Structure 1
Amino acid sequence: MIPLRDSTPSNSFPLVTLTLIIINTWLFYHQVSLGPERMSQLVYTFGLVPAHVQDNLFGFLPFITSTFLHGSWLHVIGNMWILWLFGDNVEDKMGKGRFLLFYLICGFLAGLSHYFADPFSQLPVVGASGAVAGIMGAYFLMFKHASVLTFVPPFFLFNLPAWIYLGIWALSQLSAGLFQSGGQVAFWAHIGGFIAGMILYRFFLKEPRQNYY
């Protein structure tokens, strides 16, 4: 299922959301420009490799730096599209500074979830999907009455309630995490980020908890 747009209008310019998209896109362009060998070195140095976390004093840094690296153009475009769809509304309700901190914390906790799920893995994990999952988790609870225009290949369009679309996505990640082992997709990072977003969002709101849309 591919989300095309949501029904929630934004009341302010999503500066942090747009800046994160620009930074992630520029960094991936820089990755590609390095060539395959140097790009691989970069991913192993700044990506999250669970087995290497305790190898040095700054082993915690990849939990953050890994969220700004990606594996392919499809990977970065997919993550940034979801961030654009849902991030503007969450940023609207949190404010710019709180939203950025929320994003980074969700990314860190997503990486931590992946680490505890497979602490001896030698495979590097990169991508903003854990942090973006945190945004999705916040949106899931904050905008229960919103809808998401969703494309279901090959040619179906559905206007789904946001909680159904995001609920299906979360259940698909949980199912994959439980029944698929190994592979390149860090499903437990997605799950961890989503849960972190649901739990923590209320502490970052500009105003007391309320029903939005």
Structure 2
Amino acid sequence: MFIPLHDTNNLKHIRLQWVTLTLIGLNVLIWLITEMAGLQSEFVTAAVLGLGFIPSVVNDIAELPPSLVLVPENATYITYSFLHGGLLHLGSNMLFLWVFGDNVEDAMGHIRFLVFYFACAAAGAFAHALLLPASESPLIGASGAVAGVVAAYLMLHPKVRVWVLVLGRIPLPLPAFIPLLFWVLFQFFMVVTDVGGEVSWAAHVGGIVAGAVLVLVFRRSGVPLFDKRLESPRAVIHKDDTGSRPKPVATPAPKKWGR
């Protein structure tokens, strides 16, 4: 569909999105550990079974061997979101979190954003178990939590310009609501048409619903929904009322690393 590259939405309430950066760092670190161990190793198998979310176990339809129980089964509503099956799986989730997470964290504050992120992850797992209650396959990945972040961003900043790579090769600056609303609708379409596929669309939908609801109460007081401001490109210049030559607008400090 599309790949988000960056947005033109500066931070307003925080100096650094340290929760977003920490979550990305932890996900990358855990993936590196499992990658070095080898995907077929007993260590990785135990981690996926012990930390992944297994609906049949949570619903008391099946049980894990005691040697594979690493955390209480209810904790897997969150622990599963730190495991990824490959570089593409990890990279896509972390890229979405990198582009959209900082502004949602800015709108909520650090602690509330962390609670929000984990709540969306849990909602994604809940929706997955609701659709496939007897599944014995472990659910892994941050997609449910990230889907909640995307939904919150869509409700907070629908008109902010977002640079996206369409069809993997065409960079376009679009108002956020165009690619993100399309992405959200696509998840709902796929949860109906691809039941039982390799991708848990239900986890995405669960995260989206949770994100859309929780942003209503988790955002800071005074932070509006459906922000009507349209961010201008930083290279724009303005002409004063006297008809004099235009002056370049001072370039604001970048809000994200690597900009």
TM-score by length of 1: 0.94
Q: Which amino acid aligns with 1:24?
A: N
Aligned to 2:121: 107
TM-score by length of 2: 0.78
Question: Which of 178, 181, 195 is the equivalent residue of 1:181?
Answer: 195
What's the % identity of the aligned pairs?
A: 37
CA distance in 2, matches of 1:34, 1:52: 26
Contact 2:51/2:79 (<8 A) preserved: yes
Higher helix share: 1
Aligned to 1:142: 156
Q: CA deviation at 1:34?
A: 2.2
CA distance in 1, matches of 2:170, 2:96: 19
Q: CA deviation at 1:183?
A: 2.3
CA distance in 1, matches of 2:193, 2:30: 33
User: For structure 1, which segment, 110-119 or 154-163, has the greater mean C-alpha deviation from structure 2 after superposition?
Assistant: 154-163
Q: Which amino acid aligns with 2:78?
A: I
- Mapping for residues 95-134 of structure 1, pairs under 5 Å: 95-134=109-148
Q: Which amino acid aligns with 1:61?
A: A
User: For structure 1, which segment, 80-89 or 174-183, has the greater mean C-alpha deviation from structure 2 after superposition?
Assistant: 174-183
Contact 2:93/2:146 (<8 A) preserved: yes
Deviation string 1:70-107 (CA, Å, 9 cap, x unpaired) is: 11111111111100100000111111011101101111
Contact 2:3/2:168 (<8 A) preserved: no
Contact 1:202/1:209 (<8 A) preserved: no
Unaligned 5+ residue runs, structure 1? none
CA distance in 1, matches of 2:219, 2:166: 33
Aligned to 2:245: none
Where relative contact order (Cα < 8 A, 6+ residues apart) is larger, the structure is 1
| 1:34 paired to 2:37 | yes
Q: Which amino acid aligns with 1:207?
A: S
RMSD after superposition? 1.6
CA distance in 1, matches of 2:201, 2:174: 23
| 1:203 paired to 2:206 | no
Question: Which of 45, 51, 56 is the equivalent residue of 1:46?
Answer: 51
| 1:10 paired to 2:11 | yes
Aligned to 2:250: none
Q: CA deviation at 1:180?
A: 0.9
CA distance in 1, matches of 2:115, 2:137: 27
Contact 1:125/1:184 (<8 A) preserved: no
